[in-house]
Amino acid sequence: MADTEKFRGRYRVSSTRWVAWDYSSDAPYFVTICVANRAHDFGKIVNGEMQLTPLGQAAQDCWDEIPAHFPFVELGGFVVMPNHVHGVVIINKRAVETQNIASPQNIASPQNIASPPHDIPPDVQTQNIASLPNHPQNKFGPQSQNLASIIRGYKIGVTKFARQNNIPFEWQECYHDHVIRNEQEHERIHQYILTNPQRWQDDKFHTR
């Protein structure tokens, strides 16, 4: 059984974040972020197509705006589902550094991002909070430009829209992440994201 600890007076499952990986490293990351209790707050699937609620549209818009807040981020495939979102976040700080120094036309792509080690677990569930009280200091240094900070900012944006429009809404505390290891895996994940609405009935996040 997973260990539990209290955070903000509530028990939660300890993070299963892969501690050996620096989540601020240049790499493509496949992430899945769920609505609390799998509530269908973002819309519904009709004939294999997603019909967005206003909050679902905000989930799309906030995702599109991520690079405006994190210039070292590029976005891959993305889809809003009734109770979750799937997306690929590409951290590429080297491209930003290169653009600043010499070549504004240097656009990064997944194939020129260094491949992470092959012992990466297939999927991990990461805490939304980058720095928890009494949490051991991260051995990789400041984590203001890592995957957790990007996802936290995204979730805050969607939550802000909900509150401004008096929409009851809450994210699940954790999110799932996977480091994409090569171009073939990236393409497979990309196709999975694009066709997700057509496979909703068989989706592991499907609820009625």
Q: Which fold has domain 22-197?
A: Alpha-Beta Plaits (3.30.70)
- State residue 31's pLDDT score: 97
- State residue 98's pLDDT score: 62
pLDDT in tens, 22-42: 899 999 999 999 999 999 999
Looking at per-residue pLDDT, the higher value among 35 and 14 belongs to 35
Is the pLDDT at 171 greater than 90? The verdict is yes
Is residue 87 within 8 Å of 79, Cβ to Cβ? yes
pLDDT in tens, 105-163: 443 343 433 333 333 345 556 554 333 333 334 444 445 689 999 999 999 999 999 99
Looking at per-residue pLDDT, the higher value among 80 and 13 belongs to 80
pLDDT in tens, 61-110: 999 999 999 999 999 999 999 999 999 999 999 877 665 544 444 433 43
- State residue 145's pLDDT score: 85
| Residues paired with 33 in a beta bridge | 85, 175
The distance from CA 160 to its chain's CA centroid, rounded to whole angstroms, is 18
Question: What's phi and psi for 198, nearest 5 deg?
Answer: -75, -20
79 three-state secondary structure: strand
**Per-residue tokens: 24:** 């601020």
Residue with tokens 């699937």: 45
Domain spans, the chain: 22-197
- State residue 139's pLDDT score: 47
- From residue 207, alpha-carbon distances to 83, 97, 125, 198 in Å are 8, 44, 20, 15
- State residue 163's pLDDT score: 98
Least confident range of 8-12, 38-42, 49-53: 8-12
- State residue 153's pLDDT score: 96
Looking at per-residue pLDDT, the higher value among 196 and 107 belongs to 196
| Residues paired with 142 in a beta bridge | none
